[in-house]
Amino acid sequence: MDWNTIVSENRQQVWRTAYRLLGNDADAADCFQETFISALKVAERQVVRNWPALLHCLATTRALDRLRQRKRQKGRFETIPEWSAVNSKQPEPEQYAQAAELSDRLRQALTKLPEKQARVFCLRFLDDLSYRQIAQQMEIKTDAVGVLLQRARAKLRDLLATELTPNEL
Amino acid sequence: MTPNEQNQNYDLLDKAIQTLRETDIPAEPPFEAVHAVLDAAPDNPRFLHRSFLSHHLNSITKIAAVLIFSLGGLSLLNWMQSLDNPQTQYAGIVEPLLNAQTTTCQVTVNTVGIPEQTYSTQFKAPGLIRHSVEGGAVQIVDFTQGKMLTLTPARLIAVELEMASPLQKQGHLLEIKKAIQQTLQDDSSIVHFVEEKKIDDQTLLAYRVSHSQMDITLWADADTLQLIQLEAISNAMNSIEKIVISDFDFNAPLDDTLFSFDVPNYYTAITLPDPTEDLTAFWTKIKNLSGQQFTNPQHLTTIMGYINPFRNQIIDPTNNQQLFQMPIMIPVMKRLLFL
């Protein structure tokens, strides 16, 4: 399999993972590039048996890293207006704003979880991976997946219940 | 925390997960990002295979494997050369398209977020094109002279534009022709035979070739190798665009009057300013012409019609960036016009 095929077959999955967690074009595009470049470095060191799984895992990790980086920078991010902003299929502005705020709160809450918990949570609830697939990707036991998920959910519930300051949103 | 509050938090978390899962995600990553990633690989990306060998075979086995693969490869090469070569067949199929002095065809364009468009195209070498939508607008473009005339019969409006420089973006037919020409000149372009299909007693053969900006599939008659249909999936814009061209007629005589830039009787002539010289004036005129606020997909299709031939010559005056992509162009235009 050559590099072009690997990129071509996995680009949409990596893009979706990055965009869903980051919520804007610019960050998602950076994360997209970082993911593939990290995968290249991994391939230089070891045999890659499952490219989709590696890229999936790297995309989630890089996107979470970037979210944490954003949190450290604190300021609110200005998202670049997209095509969707002029598409008539958009929901009502108020509904859209509420959904966007809730998504942002969850993104911010994810940055406060320990790294493993955040990754497990994303792979399970955003990407629909099974416990077994998550265990394989993260090289942990299936039982541990359940424990990490439970802790992640409990902490996220508490974090979402807490009113976040505007800087944290 | 009371059980009731806990339940509310449960609901909130599930709702937040649901919202995040439903994030509106553009179908494709930006073209530039994909290219950056493709370019990031070493020139010889065979390390992907080398690393496998280095982990699993000792050096003697490696030498044996290389010998076996080399001999196998040579035999395979000889065998393939004895068959009909898809590259040769592809070159023969596209030859009339590339060398015709005139071409008439039907073009259908599917772009994400914009209604499907079908129009007839008439091309006359070296750079005259006439696009017409049945019962709708007609656009005549001279790419070498940088001239455009768009006629809207329903409103009896003739929109004229003359640019200082020749037009760079040359419409779907000519851009696909250019890409095909490049695939013929590029030794690394590989043509794949895709399939054979029977439609209405006609046997069709499909071949596919990849170009840096689009994947091209062409269908040809199995007996005559005459080109029947071309499909190009382009990601040159932010969103994926699929173009299907069919009903080809090569070298049929086309009257010069079809490409006349004279404004017909009873039409009101409107002259657009050159967007490379005064973008704000140009966009103001476009807005006044349509009287809308750039929010409706159908309306955007009309705007795209006006600006398509010179889309990649439109530059944001504030930062000198090319506004080739529609999603970037619209917000900048709104800002320029204080909308």
CB contact under 8 A, A88 and B296: yes
Q: Going along B163-304, which residue ranges are E strands?
A: 192-199, 202-210, 214-221, 227-234, 241-250, 268-271
CB contact under 8 A, B19 and A102: yes
CB contact under 8 A, A86 and B13: no
A34 min Cα distance to partner chain B (Å): 9
Strand (E) or helix (H) holding B150:
strand B147-152
**SS3 of B166, please?**
coil
Angstrom distance (rounded) from CA B310 to CA B150: 13
Reported pTM: 0.47
Residue B241 has pLDDT above 80, yes or no: no
The pLDDT score that the predictor gives to residue A70 is 79
Q: Are strands B202-210 and B192-199 parallel, antiparallel or unpaired?
A: antiparallel
Cross-strand partners of B268? B157
CB contact under 8 A, B51 and A3: no
Q: Give residue-wise pLDDT tens across range B242-253.
A: 889 999 999 989
Q: Which residues of B are less than 8 Å from A28 in CB distance?
A: 29
Contact B246, B230 (CB under 8 A): yes
> Is the sign of the CA dihedral B326, B328, B333, B334 positive or negative?
positive
More confident residue, A149 or A77: A149
Q: Are strands B268-271 and B157-162 parallel, antiparallel or unpaired?
A: parallel
Report B:256-295 residues touching A (Cβ under 8 A): 294-295
The pLDDT score that the predictor gives to residue B219 is 93
The pLDDT score that the predictor gives to residue B331 is 65
Q: Which residues of A are less than 8 Å from B330 in CB distance?
A: 81, 83, 86
A143 min Cα distance to partner chain B (Å): 23
Interface test with A, best of B24, B53, B240 (most A CBs within 10 A): B24
Residue B218 has pLDDT above 90, yes or no: yes
The pLDDT score that the predictor gives to residue B312 is 61
Q: Going along chain A, which residue ranges are E strands?
A: none
Q: Is residue B126 reached through a cis peptide bond, with omega within 30 degrees of 0 on the bond before it?
A: yes
The pLDDT score that the predictor gives to residue B338 is 60
- The number of beta carbons lying within 10 Å of the beta carbon of residue A63 is 31
Q: Give residue-wise pLDDT tens across range A25-49.
A: 888 999 999 999 989 888 887 788 8
Angstrom distance (rounded) from CA A110 to CA A2: 35
Q: Give residue-wise pLDDT tens across range B268-289.
A: 898 888 877 787 787 778 777 7
- The number of beta carbons lying within 10 Å of the beta carbon of residue A95 is 10
Q: What's the rounded mean pLDDT across residues B295-321?
A: 64
Contact B272, B146 (CB under 8 A): no
Angstrom distance (rounded) from CA B27 to CA B239: 7
- In which band, very low, low, confident or very high, does the pLDDT at A80 lie, cut at 50, 70 and 90? very low
Contacts of B109 (CB under 8 A, 6+ apart): B116, B117, B118, B172, B241, B242, B243
More confident residue, B157 or B83: B157
B263 min Cα distance to partner chain A (Å): 34
The pLDDT score that the predictor gives to residue B323 is 58
Minimum mean pLDDT range among A88-92, B119-123, B247-251, B332-336: A88-92
- The number of beta carbons lying within 10 Å of the beta carbon of residue B266 is 7
The pLDDT score that the predictor gives to residue B217 is 92
More confident residue, A74 or B76: B76
Q: Which tokens in the block code for residue A23?
A: 């919520």
Q: Which residue of B has its CA nearest to A102?
A: B16
CB contact under 8 A, B326 and A83: yes
Quote ipTM for the complex: 0.80
Q: In percent, how much of chain B has pLDDT > 90?
A: 13
Q: Which tokens in the block code for residue B218?
A: 């062409």
| Interface check B339 vs A, CB under 8 A | no
Q: Which residues of B are less than 8 Å from A19 in CB distance?
A: 23, 25-26
Cα–Cα–Cα angle for B212, B215, B220, rounded to 5 degrees: 135
CB contact under 8 A, A1 and B48: yes
Q: Which residue has the tokens 């159908």?
A: B298
| Interface check B296 vs A, CB under 8 A | yes
CA distances from A101 to A83, A96, A109, A164, B210 (A): 20, 9, 12, 11, 42
Contact A88, B296 (CB under 8 A): yes
Contact B281, B317 (CB under 8 A): no
- Phi, psi (degrees; rounded to nearest 5) at A80: -75, 130
Contact B114, B301 (CB under 8 A): yes
Q: Minimal CA–CA distance to B91: which of B197, B189, B233, B195?
A: B189
Contact A21, A40 (CB under 8 A): no
Alpha helical stretches, state H, chain B: 3-21, 31-40, 47-56, 59-82, 86-99, 171-185, 279-290, 297-307, 326-336
Amino acid type, B229: Q
Q: Which residue of B has its CA nearest to A158?
A: B9
B55 min Cα distance to partner chain A (Å): 7
Q: Count Cα atoms within 13 angstroms, Cβ side, for B124.
A: 15
Q: Give residue-wise pLDDT tens across range B46-82.
A: 555 544 545 555 566 666 667 777 777 666 665 555 4
A31 min Cα distance to partner chain B (Å): 10
